[in-house]
Structure 1
């Protein structure tokens, strides 16, 4: 079981759950914490070229809910603190409940999976505005087809490149790589992977297993964020 005492050296940030909001305004109590989170992200991504968007992928363990909340939190924070243009991308294949699209009422809208399979679709045409200026969202796509989607990696690269020219940050939310290896296509392309774990609910052996998958793929950019 993960606790803050055992694992505090592994986390770039501790995010209290009461700081999370749904893009409806400034998060309560967060004036210090969200600035610190933004600075932490900036430090982790300082090596990224300025001529493209910085890219992050967030996944949650044992559930995706906190990763989605953190994506919303970061979207607001980066836009308000850095005047950044942010695109939140729902790339979750399974479990439509508690996803980014679910929280923002976009289940069934065309989105990410159409971009990976249909070359004629213009990426920006599927991005939706949120209630926060400079923060947009790309829904996951139609779930009745998502489980059978085979990602076209070449097309994925093209679409990400187009989006990268329009936004400063691309933040992907995704599920557990151990359940669906398609998520690795995103993890291999982003600059930083964040695993959101829940104190007293996430188990170290699950985290170790995920780290092994990343090592096997020669990726060393997985960081942990713990919620309380």
Structure 2
């Protein structure tokens, strides 16, 4: 019997980005020590799991394709995140990663450079997770912090939730965009978004 699922983006949704004040750059976590679970994330996950949703992660991680970080570091950080969530009482049923990037970067892994079907906004990761976990796509959600997450949800036949905190301008998913896919629900934190989702009547 198909189940309801919540597929989650990683950076900006579950964990914070890493800010380098000296260089003035914002990057994604590439070491377990850099994992900072965002406020409200654990509580939101617990509430969704308690309501019967199966939880999984679907994340774009092009750092190896861009030559920024070894693939092993990405895998190690993802495993540490799943472990951290499990220790907090949150079970992650599966984690899917797109390691590709269309253009790559200096020193990037050539095998990871070029078009693919898994990099959000394409729905490849989402449809694979739905198949492997036997999810009812129409009753499942993709939650992320970027328009690409919303677009991937639409393409996979899922509902879309957007984490959008107006106080964090450098991460605002609406910056400079005129034609964005519209999420079904939006909130500044995962616990608040979970409350919105769980308040919806079930059809």
TM-score (norm 2): 0.44
User: Which structure would you say has the larger RCO, counting Cα contacts within 8 Å and 6 or more residues apart?
Assistant: 1
More helix by proportion, 1 or 2?
Answer: 1
TM-score (norm 1): 0.40
